[in-house]
A and B are shown apart, each in its own frame.
Chain A
Amino acid sequence: MIFLDLFLAFLLIGLVAFGGGYAVLPLLERMIVLDRGWIAMERFVDMIAISQITPGPIAINGATFIGYQLISREWGVALGILGAATSTIGVVFGPALLIFVVSRFYTRFKDSPVVKAVFRVLRPALVGLIMASVASVASSAVFDVPGVLIVLLALLALWRLKWHPLLVIGACALLGLVVYM
């Protein structure tokens, strides 16, 4: 049954994850961490970090990570891999099916004023959702003054110095080593 739950949860996540990239995080946090308690908030934040240092879309990385963590905890590595496959197939299933449907009337879809109207409101709403993720990740990751300083330094590096995210993550890992060891 847990495999079916896993598949259905990620099927729904895939079908409502508009906007790509980080916009999937509030959905994952709500459905996987808060409602189902399948992984702890701290592991969820680790998952985001690992997604940034491995290739691939964050939704795929997240599905694989969560599917494996949930199943392998009780049933070991082999079934854990099956769990990872279940959630990963679940998250790509809906979008892939939609592409099949939309590709038939693709020219009408791409210039559709309805799609444009939806995204005029959906885009800023997704900004709000992403910022909600920032707030909950921050409340589980920032405990002290050095923490706040490291976040500000990382923002400065991304914004003003235009550092690559991998470089920012590496620098923060080193700062973590210096501050928290």
Chain B
Amino acid sequence: MPISLGRLFLIFLKVGAFTFGGGYAMIPVFERELVKRFKLIAPEDFYDTLVVCQSLPGPIAVNFAVFTGLRLRGKRGALISLLGVVLPSFIFILLISVFLFRYIDVPIVEAMFKGIRLSVVALIFFAGAKLFMSHRSLEGLCIAVMAFALVFTFSLHPVWVVLMAGAYGILSRRAKGGEAP
């Protein structure tokens, strides 16, 4: 018996609404709900899906929702899952923009936001450092430094860095004779 569209929507809505800290924080929650609790996906399928979702552009939680919805209930399932995972953040941000953000110029709020902006510097740096440490190598460091310099120092559009990195990856594999990874 396939899962109902309503239940599918509710699962993704729930994960979308209660997971703080970006798309990556949603992954373990998806696993708990879809693999362990409702047994809709086999564990090995879950990790395979994740690899594909990480290799495609776009927010990983969105990719995952579309992929899972498509597999479980076809096109309508994909649309329903997409809606479920996107709606909570859409509504939260709208509420904040409409009702809260007009107080940003109040001195108390402004002082708090000065502090919060500083935490953002640390949070992004930490995320970048973690990504680097997960696959650290001298070649990786050189590529990272080059990408940084191209975008920050020479104001190259980041799209070109993404395209050049992809092209270099393919070419360097060809040069090595297409060895198995």
Contact = CB atoms under 8 A, between A and B. Distances in A.
The CB with the most chain B CB atoms within 10 A, among A126, A127, A164, A181, is that of: A127
Interface string B45-78: 0001001111111111111001100110001001
B62 to A, nearest CB: 5
A41 B130 CA distance: 25
Contact of B161 (A72, A128, A158, A175): A128
A51 B158 contact: no
Contacts of A37: none
Nearest to A128: B147
A164 B57 CA distance: 27
Given A92-B82, A120-B169, A154 B112 contact: no
Interface in B85-140: 85-86, 88-90, 92-94, 96-98, 104, 107-108, 110-128, 131-132, 135, 137, 139-140
B152 A181 contact: no
A76 to B, nearest CB: 11
A166 to B, nearest CB: 6
B1 interface: no
A120 B110 CA distance: 42
A59 B59 contact: yes
A44 to B, nearest CB: 10
Given A22-B128, A118-B166, A177 B59 contact: no
A49 B120 contact: yes
Given A88-B90, A165-B123, A17 B57 contact: yes
B20 A59 contact: no
A4 interface: no
Given A48-B124, A134-B121, A17 B58 contact: yes
Q: Which secondary structure dominates where chain B touches chain A? A: helix
B3 interface: no
B119 A95 contact: no
A48 B120 CA distance: 7
A110 B86 CA distance: 25
B59 A55 contact: no
A134 to B, nearest CB: 5
Interface of A: 12, 14-22, 24-27, 30, 42, 45-46, 48-61, 64-65, 68-69, 72, 77, 80-81, 84-85, 88, 91-92, 94-96, 98-100, 102-103, 106, 109-110, 113-138, 140-142, 147, 150-151, 154-155, 158-159, 164-166, 168-169, 171-177, 179-181
Contacts of B38: none
A27 B180 CA distance: 32
Given A121-B168, A176-B112, A134 B118 contact: no
Contact of B22 (A51, A131, A180): A51
A56 B88 contact: yes
B67 A103 contact: yes
Contacts of A110: 48, 51-52, 55
A106 to B, nearest CB: 6
6 contacts: A54-B96, A68-B93, A95-B63, A130-B131, A132-B158, A181-B107
B166 to A, nearest CB: 5
Given A128-B145, A128-B161, A154-B122, A55 B88 contact: yes
Contacts of A125: 143-144, 146-147, 161-162, 164-165
